[in-house]
Amino acid sequence: MTIAIASGKGGTGKTTLSVNLALYLAQKQPVILADLDVEEPNSGLFLTADLKEDLIRYNMVPRWSGQCSLCRECQANCVWNAVIVLRDRVMVYPQLCHSCYACSELCPEKALPMVPYRMGVVRHFVSDNLNFVEGRLDIGQELAVPLIAQTIKYINEKFDKKIVRIFDSPPGTSCPVIEVMKNADFVILITEPTPFGLNDLQLAVETVRQLNKPFAVVINRYGIGDNQVENYCQTQGIDIIARIPNDKAIARLYSQGKTLFDNVPSVAHELQRIEQYLFSKAGKA
Amino acid sequence: MREIVVISGKGGAGKTSISASFAYLSPPETVIADCDVDAADMHLLMKPRIVQQEDFYSSQEAVINPDLCTGCDLCYQVCRFDAISREDGIYSVIPLNCEGCAYCEKVCPVQAITMKARLDGQWFISETRLDKPMVHARLGIGTENSGKLVTLVKNVARKIAEKYNKDFIIVDGAPGVGCPVIASISGASFVVLVSEPTVSGIHDLKRVYDLVRRFGIPAGLIINKYDINPEKTQEIISFAQQNAIFLISQIPYDESFVQAQIRGLTMAEYGSRQIKKLLRQSWETVMELSE
Amino acid sequence: MKIAFTAQGTDWNAKVDPRFGRTRYILLYDEDSGELQVIDNSASVAEAHGAGPKTAALIADYDPDVLITGNGPGGNADPALRAMGIEIFTGAGGMTIRQAYEAYKNNQLRKF
């Protein structure tokens, strides 16, 4: 079973929940935690684990052979301006390339073969029952989706389907989030009980509904705001499966990069509720 | 005319709360720009009345005309994104997967495929309860957030500022470190970095500051919720000192941040006396530093 | 020498555009002939990605020796401009084209 943890708004606790839920479950069973916020993977800051594998990931991009008639077909065929023709050469911008292969395959002189281009790394760490896989985009790389896809592929090739996967998603509702949700069986949307939290939850709900994925809500920092989020969920028939309390002790532990499941009983209790909900759903499915 | 951009790298640090307060404290001749187009929140504090609304087209998607299609399979063969479906021999495009590369359009022997502009979002010009115009936008679900819509919002804000002789543009910048942030800071007179004293907050502050430095734009720092971790706060202060980032202020964690939000007010209007004073001083510092 | 300016307008009184890739116009001044040419860059402005390279490709055909701008080209346009051997000067943001030209002649701009 693959659970994606997402949120319309940044800073609501995606990584906190992903890390703590993964560690909580890993006390009893093997778990894979994937940090798919490849632009800014933060989960690793909260984990101590041994590096098992560090692999460079590549995208296929065109490379100019160095000689051609400069007919400019390639420039015309690229919708992303990743291939431009100057007076005496063809220049390729690998970081803009979406790997559609059009310029390469349509070049009349076969002067743009596709070659691998480094876009980032996938790192695999292990700590007891927990397998932590992180996708990390190189600085200057603009496209997150190909690396997210490759990180998920790595996980599916390496691990048994039966092992539970927790996917820490990027924030927001754009392409990278869609890529993560597409590959999940269930989505947990985490939010906070404030007007900003509600606004962004509504955007996230719209996203997950468009993908037709089953989902539920976790409210973080419960108590800091009002009950608009609860009312919204009730009206919409959305299950709220946990309410993590607003607690200065929690905030402090988080600020230090420490885990909560083993230090804060109220958090462990909420994680248990999430576990029960998820695995009762899995049983039913 | 000065453009003040507020960014934070990490979400949840208080970027929007602070830029909204600046929007309140700034002189009357101000334009507000909400460049967090993926998850815009400024409007919740500004009571906007939309005066102009426009569609935003950025990407395109392929469309197959079933009347012309001969089922030759070429489009399916060239598509790298699994965006062509051929269920029951009927060829159609799966919009969510289509990247708009137009390769299929180019190879179709009977011109059955056309590229259609995709409605990727909307942008708005609104009047606000602060009597300052606001430019904001909504990016469509599942759209690539390239920075183009951010740039558009900034350009519209600039046009308004020039036309009506405004003194300030206050920009609520995009979160993260990618193209939308770069587009947010491009052309700014001054950048305000909002950070929180947490391991993630510091990590993301350093990454976003890297961008600011490359652009050579003067920057100042506000440490929000500084009292949740004095050691980490000191770490941020040291970082600022080592990098010639001016420390604008340190704001304590305060419940009134949320209470103000619930009432649809900025902290500069609703916060405790201490917070209001800190915000006013912060704004005055920003005005001085951005001259 | 041919000098290119990123510009928000179409004459000597126009303001320099701080950006390169999404600059609205490129003004090309030929010091020998005294001619000021206007190049419309709106196609690049409209681009989601790759505005820098597209603008670079656009000016390649005009073969400028110098580029004067505000902030400087971003990471994508930079290599193309360098490949063309164009000298880039920044710090002209906020000036008019005329002022930027004077500043350049008086060595008051920053070499990128």
pLDDT at B227 (0 to 100): 92
Asked if A82 lies within 8 A of C53 by C-beta distance, the reply is: yes
Asked if A100 lies within 8 A of B264 by C-beta distance, the reply is: no
**Partners of residue C90 in chain B, C-beta under 8 Å:** 216
- CB proximity B58 to C under 8 Å: yes
Asked if A175 lies within 8 A of B101 by C-beta distance, the reply is: no
What is the arrangement of strands in the sheet containing A114-127, beginning at the earlier edge strand?
A: A50-62, A114-127, A130-137, A31-35, A164-168, A2-6, A186-191, A215-222, A240-245
Question: Domain residue spans in chain C?
Answer: 2-111
Q: How far A85 CA lies from chain C's nearest CA (Å)?
A: 6
Q: How far B13 CA lies from chain A's nearest CA (Å)?
A: 7
* pLDDT score of A285 more than 50: no
pLDDT at C74 (0 to 100): 75
Instruction: State mean pLDDT over B12-18.
Output: 92
Q: Which domains does chain B have, with CATH numbers?
A: 2-47+128-289 (3.40.50.300), 60-118 (3.30.70.20)
Between the CA of residue B218 and those of B6, B10, B158, C73, what are the distances in Å? 12, 20, 20, 18
- CB proximity A66 to C under 8 Å: no
Q: Which domains does chain A have, with CATH numbers?
A: 2-58+122-284 (3.40.50.300), 64-112 (3.30.70.20)
Asked if C19 lies within 8 A of B186 by C-beta distance, the reply is: yes
Instruction: State mean pLDDT over A259-271.
Output: 94
**Which candidate from B59, B186, B187 shows the least CB-CB separation from C48?**
B59
Predicted structure pTM score: 0.87
Task: Tell which of A86, A95, A139 to mutate to test the C interface (max C CBs under 10 Å).
Answer: A86
- Report how far residue B134's alpha carbon sits from residue B53's, in angstroms, rounded to the nearest whole number: 12
Q: Nearest-CA residue of chain C relative to B213? A: C71
**Which candidate from C49, C75, C80 shows the least CB-CB separation from A84?**
C80
The C-alpha angle with vertex B43 and arms to B41 and B47, in degrees rounded to 5, equals: 150
Residues 6+ apart with CB under 8 A from A49: A125, A126, A127, A130, A132
pLDDT tens digits along B215-272: 888 999 999 999 999 999 999 999 999 998 999 999 999 988 899 999 999 999 998 9
| Helix A14-26 / helix A265-284 crossing angle, nearest 10 deg | 80
> Which CATH code for domain C2-111?
3.30.420.130
How high is the ipTM of this complex?
Answer: 0.88
pLDDT tens digits along B70-103: 999 999 999 999 999 999 889 999 988 899 999 9
Contact B134, B171 (CB under 8 A): no
Looking at chain B, the whole-number percentage of residues with pLDDT higher than 70 is 100
Of the pLDDT bands very low, low, confident and very high (cuts 50, 70, 90), residue A283 is: low
Asked if A81 lies within 8 A of C47 by C-beta distance, the reply is: yes
* pLDDT score of A284 more than 70: no
Contact A88, C57 (CB under 8 A): no
Q: Would you state the structure tokens that stand for residue A239, as one six-digit string?
A: 């299950």
Looking at chain A, the whole-number percentage of residues with pLDDT higher than 70 is 99
Q: How far A224 CA lies from chain B's nearest CA (Å)?
A: 7
Chains that touch B (3 or more CB pairs under 8 A): A, C
Max Cα–Cα distance, chain A, nearest Å: 70
**Partners of residue A96 in chain C, C-beta under 8 Å:** 49-50, 53, 76
* Lowest-pLDDT range of A216-230, B116-130, C13-27: C13-27
Instruction: State mean pLDDT over A34-44.
Output: 92
Q: How far C71 CA lies from chain B's nearest CA (Å)?
A: 6
What's chain A's average pLDDT?
Answer: 93
Chains that touch C (3 or more CB pairs under 8 A): A, B
